C-alpha cells in the first residue's frame, strides 16, 4: 500500500500538531479537520498512527523547554530509589505521582482501542466534544480559586488531573490540555501551575501513544520521510507554542479558547451537514 500522506501533507499536519497540542483547543480535533480538508482518510490506521507519532515532536519540545526541571526531578527520583532518606523530597514524590497518574489513561487506552479507532473517531464526536469541552473550561474559570501554586500539588491532585486525560482519549475534540487545565483550575491551582502540571503529565502519555502507534504508521505504508518531516515541524512549532502559552496564561483567562472552540465546533457541524467533510 502506498503512503496516504505526502511530505507536504506531513509538514502541514506538523504545523497543526505543534500549534494545537498544548493549547486547550484539541490537537486531535484540528488534525482530523485538516486531514479531512486535505482528502486524507481520518480513519485509516496509517493516518491514526502518523498523528500519534508526530505528537512525539511536540513532546520533545516540552522536554527541551523544561529540561532543567525534568533533569532535577529525574535526579531526585533516581537518588531516592537508591537512598531511603532522600524519599521525603517533593521532586522524588512528584516523579512517582506522574507515573501513578499515567496508569489510568494507559489502562483505558488499551481497553478501549476498538472504540477509540472506531465510532469515537467520528468528526461528529469531535464537533460535539469541542463544544462540550468549552463549557467545562468556562466552568473551571468560573469556580477556580487559583489560590494554590505548584508546590501545593498533591498526589490526589495529580491523579485527578492525570485521569482527566481520559476524556480527550475517548472523545477527540475534548482536548487533553483543555481537560487537564480545567481539572487543575477546579482543584484551585493558579493558571501557570495548572499549565505546567499539564505539560509534565503529557510527557509519558503522549510519548507512550507515539511509540505504540509507530508500528501502524510504518506498517501501513507511511514512509519515513513524512514521519520525519511531520515530527520535526511539530517540534519547532510546539516549542514556540509552549513558550507563548506560559506567558499568555500568566495574564489571561482561558475563556478565549473556549469561545474559539465553540466557533470551530459549530463550523464543523455545518461542514459535515453540508457535505464539505465526511464524518
Q: Answer whether 48's CB lies under 8 Å from 4's CB.
A: no
Counted residue by residue, the chain has a size of 279
Q: How far apart are CA 230 and CA 219, in angstroms?
A: 17
Mean pLDDT, rounded, for 198-226? 77
The pLDDT assigned to 56 comes to 85
pLDDT band at 1; cut points 50, 70, 90: very low
pLDDT band at 82; cut points 50, 70, 90: very high
pLDDT band at 28; cut points 50, 70, 90: confident
| pTM of the predicted structure, to 2 decimals | 0.89
The CA-atom distances, in angstroms, between 48 and each of 53, 67, 196, 218 are: 9, 29, 27, 11
**Non-local CB neighbours of 132 within 8 Å, separated by 6+ positions:** 171, 174
Question: Which range (141-155, 203-217, 240-254) has the least confidence?
Answer: 203-217
Helix (H) or strand (E) holding 40: none
Q: Answer whether 209's CB lies under 8 Å from 51's CB.
A: no
Amino acid at each position: 500500500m502506498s503512503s496516504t500522506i505526502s511530505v507536504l501533507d506531513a509538514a502541514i499536519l506538523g504545523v497543526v500538531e505543534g500549534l494545537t497540542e498544548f493549547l486547550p483547543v484539541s490537537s486531535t480535533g484540528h488534525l482530523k479537520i485538516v486531514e479531512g480538508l486535505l482528502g486524507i482518510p481520518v480513519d485509516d490506521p496509517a493516518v491514526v498512527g502518523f498523528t500519534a507519532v508526530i505528537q512525539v515532536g511536540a513532546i520533545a519540545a516540552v522536554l527541551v523547554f523544561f529540561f532543567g526541571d525534568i533533569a532535577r526531578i529525574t535526579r531526585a527520583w533516581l537518588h531516592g530509589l537508591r537512598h531511603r532518606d532522600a524519599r521525603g523530597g517533593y521532586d522524588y514524590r512528584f516523579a512517582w505521582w506522574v507515573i501513578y497518574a499515567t496508569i489510568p489513561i494507559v489502562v483505558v487506552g488499551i481497553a478501549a482501542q476498538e472504540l477509540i479507532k472506531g465510532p469515537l473517531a467520528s468528526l461528529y464526536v469531535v464537533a460535539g466534544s469541542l463544544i462540550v469541552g468549552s463549557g467545562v473550561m468556562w466552568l473551571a474559570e468560573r469556580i477556580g480559586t487559583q489560590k494554590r501554586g505548584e508546590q501545593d500539588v498533591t498526589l490526589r491532585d495529580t491523579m485527578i488531573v492525570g485521569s482527566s486525560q481520559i476524556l480527550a482519549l475517548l472523545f477527540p475534540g475534548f482536548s487533553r490540555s483543555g481537560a487537564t487545565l480545567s481539572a487543575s483550575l477546579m482543584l484551585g491551582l493558579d493558571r501557570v501551575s495548572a499549565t505546567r502540571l499539564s505539560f509534565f503529565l503529557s510527557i509519558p502519555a503522549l510519548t507512550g501513544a507515539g511509540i505504540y502507534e509507530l508500528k501502524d504508521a510504518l506498517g501501513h505504508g507511511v514512509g519515513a520521510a513524512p514521519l520525519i518531516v511531520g515530527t520535526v515541524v511539530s517540534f519547532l512549532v510546539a516549542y514556540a507554542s509552549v513558550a507563548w502559552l506560559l506567558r499568555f496564561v500568566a495574564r489571561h483567562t482561558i475563556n478565549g479558547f473556549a469561545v474559539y472552540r465553540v466557533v470551530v465546533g459549530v463550523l464543523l457541524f455545518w461542514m459535515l451537514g453540508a457535505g464539505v467533510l465526511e464524518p
